[in-house]
């Protein structure tokens, strides 16, 4: 009789239900769609705009369903050709005031999404889209940091009355900042001061001639490594923030190597539009405000075009309200060290806390001392590169866009650390902090590789991948059923559920399905039957040695387990190596293979044992169909 415990039956049932439910969303094919989002200053999405878009599509005889979903509009189409035609028609209708982006709209029922059961996102090779490989220029960040340290050192030396001749960056690599002092005592005092106030600088004495005593302050290697990693992370965060504006489903933005970033935008077929967004640069400026947004002087200047000589006319980011702003910058984004959102403790309103370096702090302190009660504007200056083709060559032309993202009253003097409060909501404060901290790339990037994959190629890959999985599965099922009879059929059922559970796990954790991932699934199915082969052969061997059928089943699973475990552990080590050390397609293959090894160990051993015990456990057996 079978001694298979009931809790294992329950575990197998739960695993089967999990596989069915969480793999089910992949049976619902997504719809081709176009997403329309309002840019800053544009009219919000409403029913009037929805009707306008629907009428334009109907006029061009493009069948589509148009719905407004919160802060964006969604138009769905039956195929990719209608999607492309619809996007062109909507783009021509709305112009630059709205972002029109390709999208795949999920058709998974709400009861599944309510339990977080979603379909696997498709990778670039299956869905089509654009691929960029971008190289990060770290030298610009090093220049910025060394200039900041030089400014801080000058301020500290003046504050402590230490006599110096100059503080400048060295032209020799590795020397960092060169400080020239007037005496040995001044050099000693400066060295102690720098070592105390700037622990990330390694201070060494240089040559001394006459009344010139040289001191070198170089950034320590550990700080340089942290700087390099921080630069990549900030660029990744900035790119993710920018690409969200495209409305791309499941973009891939990841580091590759020490100074490269891979950006894959599945479903995007216009690389020029993507390059304009991800390649844009931004900077910040704090300037004196001349009045407030929308005051009579600003409105008159906007209407007449007569702008005071000491001012510039700009517009706010939320509504294009005119603002007069002074021409002279108080502080620029280069002097900003950090920014974070929070709640002002005095009045409970959302605020943004800003930290400046020594040079910026001194300028801000001087300005605010003299301008309490007056406005100060924060300008976001974006440099967006327009890409065009001239004489068969791609030409990038910079276009500068300036807007006022905040205009607040100076309540009291401040310098290095200050806050802007009275913002409308915590989200507004968070967005402003993100613009201040990550609105600009930490280091410039150059696109060194790009290519476009068409959606037709993706459909062909999906079909071939699906055919490969089905063919491999059917052949394995047929061989097992013919050779091992009833035990083979049990192994076939377990193999089918192995596929379901594998897909369910990948869907639940959000693994992006790619061609290497499909290869991993096919390989997993081929390897999973190995465990059942070992078990069946062990059962046959026990029967030949004269064991009873129930004893043969028990011994077969018991003796085969050690071999199965050893084999799968070695496979899992290889998969972990691919996951941790590989990138891109190699890592995707390793992830799928690793998950498949774990699911196959469960289905091949525990699930088949449960089925076998259920079939044979309550009967007296003379022989086994194996």
Give pLDDT tens digits for 89-115.
Answer: 888 888 767 777 777 788 889 899 889
Q: 228 - beta bridge partners?
A: none
* pTM, entire model: 0.61
Kind plus residue range of the DSSP H or E element containing 303: helix 296-304
| Residue ranges covered by each domain of the chain | 6-25+454-616, 31-105, 139-223, 280-440
**Of 533, 520, 534, nearest in space to 598 by CA:** 520
Q: Check if CATH label 3.30.1360.200 holds for domain 280-440.
A: yes
pLDDT exceeds 70 at position 598: yes
Give pLDDT tens digits for 119-170.
Answer: 887 777 777 778 888 887 777 677 777 877 888 888 888 888 888 888 888 8
How many Å apart are CA 58 and CA 235, to the nearest integer? 42
With pLDDT > 90 as the criterion, what percentage of the chain qualifies? 6
User: For position 21, what pLDDT does the model report?
Assistant: 94
User: For position 400, what pLDDT does the model report?
Assistant: 72
Q: In what order do the strands lie in the sheet with 72-77?
A: 65-69, 72-77, 31-38, 98-105
Determine how many CB atoms are found less than 10 A away from the CB of residue 393.
7
Q: Which residues contact 19 (CB under 8 A, 6 or more apart)?
A: 497, 500, 501, 503, 504
Average pLDDT, the chain: 80
Q: Provide the token pair at 471.
A: 């063919």
**Of 497, 445, 457, 571, nearest in space to 133 by CA:** 445
How many Å apart are CA 416 and CA 358, to the nearest integer? 7
Tell me which CATH homologous superfamily contains domain 31-105: ACT domain (3.30.70.260)
Determine how many CB atoms are found less than 10 A away from the CB of residue 311.
20
**What is the pLDDT confidence band of residue 20, given thresholds at 50, 70 and 90?**
very high
Which single residue is written with the structure tokens 């475990």?
A: 565
**What is the pLDDT confidence band of residue 431, given thresholds at 50, 70 and 90?**
low
Matching fold, domains 139-223 and 280-440: yes
Three-class SS state of 413:
coil
Question: Which CATH number fits the domain 6-25+454-616, given the four candidates 1.20.1640.10, 3.30.70.3270, 3.30.2350.10, 3.40.50.300?
Answer: 1.20.1640.10
Cβ proximity of 77 and 32 under 8 Å? yes
Alpha helices in 305-398 (DSSP H): 358-370
Cα distance between the two ends of the chain: 18
Cβ proximity of 236 and 253 under 8 Å? yes
Cβ proximity of 135 and 526 under 8 Å? no
Determine how many CB atoms are found less than 10 A away from the CB of residue 205.
13
With pLDDT > 70 as the criterion, what percentage of the chain qualifies? 84
pLDDT exceeds 80 at position 184: yes
Fold of 139-223: Gyrase A; domain 2 (3.30.1360)
Q: Which residues contact 474 (CB under 8 A, 6 or more apart)?
A: none
């Amino acid at each position: 009789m079978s001694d298979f415990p009931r809790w294992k039956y329950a575990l197998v049932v739960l695993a089967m239900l999990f596989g069915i439910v969480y793999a089910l969303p992949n049976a619902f094919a997504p719809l081709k769609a176009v997403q329309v989002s309002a840019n800053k200053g544009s009219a919000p999405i409403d029913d009037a705009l929805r009707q306008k878009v629907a009428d334009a599509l109907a006029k061009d005889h493009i069948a589509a369903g148009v719905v407004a979903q919160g802060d964006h509009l969604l138009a769905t189409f039956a195929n990719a050709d209608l999607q492309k035609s619809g996007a062109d028609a909507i783009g021509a209708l709305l112009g630059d005031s709205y972002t029109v982006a390709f999208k795949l709209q999920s058709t998974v029922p709400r009861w599944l999404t309510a339990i977080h059961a979603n379909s696997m996102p498709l990778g670039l090779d299956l869905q089509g889209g654009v691929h960029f490989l971008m190289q990060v220029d770290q030298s610009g960040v090093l220049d910025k940091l060394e200039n900041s340290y030089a400014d801080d050192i000058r301020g500290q030396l003046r504050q402590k009355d230490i006599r110096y001749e100059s503080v400048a960056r060295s032209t020799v690599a590795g020397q960092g900042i060169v400080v020239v002092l007037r005496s040995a005592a001044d050099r000693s005092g400066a060295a102690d001061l720098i070592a105390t106030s700037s622990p990330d600088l390694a201070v060494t004495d240089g040559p001394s001639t006459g009344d010139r005593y040289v001191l070198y302050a170089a950034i320590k290697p550990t700080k340089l490594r942290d700087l390099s990693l921080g630069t990549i992370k900030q660029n990744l965060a900035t790119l993710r923030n920018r690409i969200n504006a495209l409305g791309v489903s499941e973009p891939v933005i990841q580091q590759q190597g020490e100074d490269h970033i891979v950006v894959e935008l599945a479903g995007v077929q216009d690389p020029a539009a993507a390059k304009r967004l991800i390649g844009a640069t931004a900077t910040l400026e704090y300037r004196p405000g001349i009045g407030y947004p929308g005051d009579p002087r600003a409105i008159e200047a906007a209407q007449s075009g007569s702008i005071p000589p000491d001012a510039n006319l700009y517009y706010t980011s939320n509504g294009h309200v005119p603002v007069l702003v002074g021409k002279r910058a108080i502080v620029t984004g280069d002097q900003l060290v950090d920014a974070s959102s929070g709640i002002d403790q005095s009045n409970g309103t959302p605020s943004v806390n800003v930290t400046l370096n020594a040079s910026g702090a001194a300028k801000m302190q001087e300005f605010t001392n003299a301008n309490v009660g007056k406005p100060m504007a924060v300008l976001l200056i974006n440099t967006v590169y327009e890409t065009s083709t001239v004489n068969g060559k791609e030409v990038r032309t910079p276009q500068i866009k300036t807007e006022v993202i905040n205009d607040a009253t100076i309540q009291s003097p401040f310098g290095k650390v200050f806050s802007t409060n009275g913002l409308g909501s915590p989200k507004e404060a968070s967005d402003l902090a993100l613009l201040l901290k990550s609105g600009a790339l930490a280091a410039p990037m150059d696109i060194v590789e790009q290519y476009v994959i068409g959606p037709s190629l993706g459909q062909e890959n999906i079909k071939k991948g699906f055919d490969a999985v089905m063919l491999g599965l059917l052949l394995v099922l047929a061989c097992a059923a013919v050779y091992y009879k009833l035990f083979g059929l049990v192994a076939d059922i377990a193999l089918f559920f192995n596929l379901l559970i594998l897909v369910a796990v990948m869907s639940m954790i959000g693994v992006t399905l790619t061609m290497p991932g499909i290869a991993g699934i096919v390989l997993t199915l081929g390897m999973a039957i190995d465990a059942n082969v070992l078990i069946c052969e062990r059962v046959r061997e026990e029967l030949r040695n004269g064991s009873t059928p129930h004893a043969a089943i028990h011994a077969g699973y018991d003796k085969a387990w050690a071999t199965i475990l050893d084999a799968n552990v070695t496979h899992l080590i290889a998969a972990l190596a691919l996951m941790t050390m590989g990138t891109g397609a190699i890592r995707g293959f390793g992830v799928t293979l690793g998950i498949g090894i774990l699911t196959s160990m469960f289905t091949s051993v525990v699930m088949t044992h449960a089925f076998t015990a259920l079939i044979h456990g309550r009967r007296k057996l003379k022989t086994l169909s194996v």
